[in-house]
Amino acid sequence: AALATSDQYLRGVKVLVTAGGTRERLDPVRYLTNDSSGKMGTALANAAAAAGAKVTLITTAHQVTLPAVEVEKVETAEQMNAEVQARFDQTDIVLMAAAVADYRPREVASSKLKKTGDQGLTLDLVQNPDILAALGASKTHQFVAGFAAETNDLLQNAQAKLARKQADMLIANRVGKGLGFNRDDNAVTLLQPGQAPIELAQAPKLELAQQILRRIQEVRA
């Protein structure tokens, strides 16, 4: 019922959404990841499809999607980057809701790492590509939106990311102590270059997704 909409405000629009935390492998049985559930990204994909968009969801998460959403499962940031890049030309709106791991192990061990003696272990990590920044730098007609989940200095950090990544919108949300990750509700602030911030009050993620998509379509129109 929450999805039923006769208003096809995204009819024919090609929307690409990423969701979930990427998993960065150490060995065949271990990986580094984060607390992202993929719920916000999945809500955006479902809301866009319900509004008539042609939606691709590139995700690490196991969340329920509408049949109309094309789902591409990935594990790592590098895989997500490749899938996003392959589709960017034929996309109108990109929503980078994924929590892309900032680092990955320099080497992925081909067999299970074993303990040696009683020493600790230092991991050697390298930085992952910044998918959103690359899209921002190369966009032509696309509307590119990112998310910023912050525990501190939310709006300052999010404004800085909006500029640094040349995004058209940054959706800022506070995380920590009962907020943000793996919840059905969220409250966000929409930041756009040269515009006053727009606050969206706490609501189910699906409702927020609809408000975000309507705002984007208004700006694009």
Which residues form the catalytic set?
34
Own/partner long-range contacts of 197-200 (Cβ < 8 Å, ≥24 apart): 197/155
d(CA 33, CA 76): 9
Cβ-based neighbour number of residue 137 at 10 Å? 11
Q: Does residue 57 belong to the site contacting ligand CTP (CB under 6 A)?
A: no
Report if residue 72 touches Ca ion, rule: CB under 5 A: no
Could you tell me which residues are beta bridge partners of residue 145? 95, 169
Of residues 160 through 199, those in contact with ligand CTP by CB under 6 A are 161
The listed partner (Ca ion, ligand CTP, none) that binds 181, CB under 5 to 8 Å by sort, is none
Q: Does 148 bind ligand CTP (CB under 6 A)?
A: yes
Q: Compare residues 114 and 146 and give the one whose CB is closer to ligand CTP.
A: 146
Least CB distance to ligand CTP at residue 151 (A) = 10
Our finding on whether 132 is near ligand CTP (CB under 6 A) is yes
How many helices (H) and strands (E) would you count in the chain?
Answer: 5, 12
Determine whether the annotation assigns residue 14 to a binding site.
no
Of the pair 9, 183, the CB lying nearest ligand CTP is at: 183
- Cβ contacts of residue 25 below 8 Å, gap of 6+? 31, 75, 76, 104, 105, 108
For ligand CTP, the binding residues (CB under 6 A) are: 77, 96, 98, 100, 102, 128-132, 146-149, 161
